[in-house]
Each structure stands twice: as structure tokens, then as C-alpha cells.
Structure 1
Amino acid sequence: MTNRDEDERAATGSLLLDDQLCFALYAAQRAVTAAYRPVLEELGLTYPQYLVLLVLWERGETTVKELGAALRLDYGTVSPLLKRLESAGVVRRERAAHDERSVLIACTGRGEELRERAARVPSALQTATGLDGADVARLREELWQLTHRARTAAERPF
């Protein structure tokens, strides 16, 4: 089948699974997460835990609410991640002195030590996927554009 045939199927609203953008994104996300797994297992982290630590390494101490917003996750999803990371001694949680309703999250010394070891994760994934820096930058930019467009579309009725 030619690219033109594929373009025509997509334009006419094909219901074939492999023609669905959402399925291609889902399959890619699962494959990328699986590619991260061996490297993250060496650190004792799951992929979602790694994402939490990326935010904390970048921003330092932050609130649960801010962490959830950065990861685009709700409280019910973030809270169990934080509990497991706290049990592992990687993060600490404490009530904010200025507002006891707010919970602050920060890395412990162990969490900061993981940062040094995690520095090789991005290059390991790049090597595993065979993407060069330009490929990664282009793909990331296209995905952020798609994210923005999809969010905008979700906010307005058809």
C-alpha cells in the first residue's frame, strides 16, 4: 500500500486500528516506557517514579499540587507514587508551615544521589532507539504541538 492510500484512508475516517493516531501514540508510549525499564530498574525506579524525580530535580521542593500539574496527573495518581518513593527513602513529604493544607515534596539525600546515576538515562534511551539528538528534538517538538492542539480541541465542542 502506498503512502497516498494511507493518507486517503486517514482522511476518510478509517476505523482500522493501525490507521488510528491514538493507537500509534499508545503503542509508541508503551514501547518507549519498556525501553526505559531496564535502565530504571538499575536505579530501583519505575517510569512514573522517574518522572516525579525529574520534576523534583528540576524544581527542588514543590507542592503535591504543583507536582501533579507538572506531570499532568491528578492527586489520586500522584499520591501513591509519593508514598512508595517516601517508603523507599527517596523523597520526604511534610505539611507546609504557611498552609497546613499544602504538602511539600522534596528529595532526600538518597534521592539526590539517584540524580547522578540517572544522568545516563536519556542517552541510554537514545542509544536504544537509534535516534540522534536532532531526531529527538524534532519528535519532541511535534509531540508538544500535538499535545497543545489536542488540549485545545478537548476544550471546545465539535
Structure 2
Amino acid sequence: MNIRKATQKDFEAIELLYREADLIAYELLPSFFKHPSEFTRSRDELDKQIGDHLTEVFVAEDERGIVGLSVTVLQKTPTAFEGFVERKFAELVDLVVSTQARREGIATVLISHAENWAKQSGAESIDLTVVEGNSGAEILYHKSGYIARSHRMWKKLA
């Protein structure tokens, strides 16, 4: 397996990975996520991510092609509230592994690359969000040393 930075030539393979992830998100929380048949991701979106110095997109590639990706974004603490400790951090906004390639260690390697990039870019920590019900992701992140810092809740108003 090879981990490398994504290029525009990877768009079709990345879109297929996102389709799988979008379907899982929809199945877990249909009140929050659209069905993948209702929208498409744009090539422009990937181009912006690849061209943004605050974002890094890695792909995992093996003999099957591109089987995983991670998207990590550098951020600073919002300054709108004086009570926050100011920090520079990264957010792992996307981690996707093809359903056919799961449980092969690909996600762990992608996380490691994302963390190394974030650290080299000056981030003090890395944050991420797990969709409620995605227990496989929660287990993976706990094994990788991540701890819960908050629990976001919601209520639908009738």
C-alpha cells in the first residue's frame, strides 16, 4: 500500500469513496444527511482542497486502486469567545476506506499520515467528529489514542 497526496486525477476514485461514506452517513442519520443520489461532489471542491495550504488530502492506493482517503484541515481556535484557550489544531474532517478494503489497517495508516502532517504544520492537537452510531469508527479512534472531549446533542422541534 502506498500513501500519497491526492491529485486532480484522483477525482473519480475519490468520488466513489465518498459515495460509499455518504450512504453510510445517510443510513445512520437520514435526518441530517442527504441520500447520495440527491447530490454530487464537485471537482472544484477537490481542487480547492488540494490547492489550499491549510488542507492536506492523502489517498491510500494499492493494486486495487485508491482504497482510502483522509482530509485534514489546519485551524485556530475561534476568537469570538474570550474563554477559549487559543490553540492551533488540525481537524480530520474526512477518513474514508472502501468497504472492500476495511479491516486491513488502511485507516490507521491514513490517520498516522494526517497526524504527522498536522504536527509538521504546527498543530498542537487533532480533532475529529464521529457520526452517532458509527461504532467501528469510534473503536478505531479510541485505539488510535483519541478521547471524547464533548458530546453534541440535538432535538427536533415539532
Q: TM-score, normalised by structure 2?
A: 0.25
Query: Could you say which structure has the larger radius of gyration?
Result: 1
- Greater length-normalized contact order (CA 8 Å, ≥ 6 residues apart): 2
Larger relative strand fraction: 2
Q: TM-score, normalised by structure 1?
A: 0.25
